[in-house]
Structure 1
């Protein structure tokens, strides 16, 4: 451990053989790798075993609940939470180990670089950042059905470290995800009193497109950035259209 806090890397999986090898290889320096699987039928479990991960299985309980269950299986206090299609570059790994020598916060945000169909997003576009390194005794997953996040009880730092996210490799996959996530988000939207639904269906997709394409700088990624922005706008439309449909069906 070289004088640092021991680290558990936590990953949830389901048929992720295409990306899991790169994910686990990038964190092979960690003190423990925990994989919580939900019924993989491909080589996912064999890859996890190859890297010496502790493998557990349970039926998929939803994104947030599944990740929390995986975090609860960790042996160590400090956790690095990764998706199975993410990996840590060597410079980021070195920085994480330095931080763990003397953590100053209860959690840390890391930047995430997105693969957009056939290229990485432009280096001059804006990266999203998420809490991924944290003291699990002072953190829990949010209860959102999608876009779940780590909620930290304490201060949060930001590390100059990048997670590479491969995500959906093609347009069909990203469109299918937008359709799936917009359906799942109905449960979260149902907790709020969302008004002006017809106006939101008309206006919000354009706002979402401009925010993603122009303000976040994905126009710098060429046609890949344009297509990603259009799918993002389609997702914004779908979630409100489906909520409108549900309300009409309930009323009729």
Structure 2
């Protein structure tokens, strides 16, 4: 792909904070799209902003207000109505770039497009063979789909009955820098989920605390095919299952606190 290729009416929207070690690979993989690249940075103290600008991205700084508000802020600044929400730890494969460009160059693009992502394990330069892919709407027309103001999660408020188009090619998701990052992120996500989930009964949580880890380990290891990644796949399945267990343990802890402290219950309701 060269600069002679026509641009497409698409804005690649990235939210960043201290991604200097990963953002160059992400932006370089997106450059062949010939789309606008807009980075919303929440105050990085490393070279994230300088790297992004050196590669031609437009960078706007905005204080972090949560996942939803930050992406919604960026949506309003996009030059084009079609938005591609891409993380700074992702790499677009050439096949995916070719597929997206083809959609925009040959006919009006659909309002919603589902993108598949395959996770690369720490210290690996690509996902394992036959990797399981998550699937979600990441390319959308902001005139009919906008991110909600939920600070904890990315949710689209979709105002069209049009069915999303599923892209065949995949993106590579380098979710974790190393095993320490994987463990820290599992703890962070578990804490976030525990603080924002609807209250559950202590009986339900007490039962789930025994089965959550083995159930999710088997799910990640076999159904999500991490067994194909050898020892590292086993380690990743263990960490992911531990994160699910930790979520239930933290929810149970909060349920116990609310039972003895009405103020804690009020604070939990306010957080949601």
For residue 157 of structure 1, the aligned residue among 165, 172, 175 is 165
Q: Quickly say closer, same or farther: Cα 1:194–1:59, change in 2 above 3 A.
A: farther
Report whether the alignment pairs 1:116 with 2:121.
yes
Q: Which of the numbers 59, 65, 69 marks the counterpart of 1:61?
A: 65
Gaps of 5+ in 2: 261-272
Q: 1:51 aligns with which of 41, 52, 55?
A: 55
| Pair 1:212-2:220 in alignment | yes
Q: How many residues align?
A: 251
Aligned partners of 1:145 and 1:185 also within 8 Å: no
- Give the TM-score taking structure 1 as reference length: 0.91
Describe the SS at the equivalent of 1:137: coil
Deviations 1:182-212 (A, max 9, x none): 111123313x556600111111221111111
Moved more, 124-133 or 237-246: 124-133
Of stretches 229-238 and 61-70 in structure 1, the one that deviates more from structure 2 is: 61-70
Question: Are residue 167 (structure 1) and residue 167 (structure 2) matched?
Answer: no
Equivalent positions of 1:13-52 (< 5 A) are: 13-28=16-31, 29-52=33-56
Tell me, in whole angstroms, the C-alpha distance in 1 between the residues paired with 2:156 and 2:169: 17
Which TM-score applies when normalising by structure 2?
Answer: 0.85
2:154 to 148, 153, 164: 148
What SS does the corresponding residue of 1:41 show, helix, strand or coil? Answer: coil
Q: Unaligned stretches of 5+ in structure 1?
A: none
**Which stretches of structure 1, 4 residues or longer, exceed 4 Å deviation after superposition?**
1-5, 142-147, 192-195
Aligned Cα root-mean-square deviation (Å): 2.1
1:61-80 equivalences in 2 (<5 Å):
61-80=65-84
Please say which structure displays the higher CA radius of gyration: 2
The answer to which of 146-155 and 134-143 deviates more is 146-155
Aligned to 1:250: 258
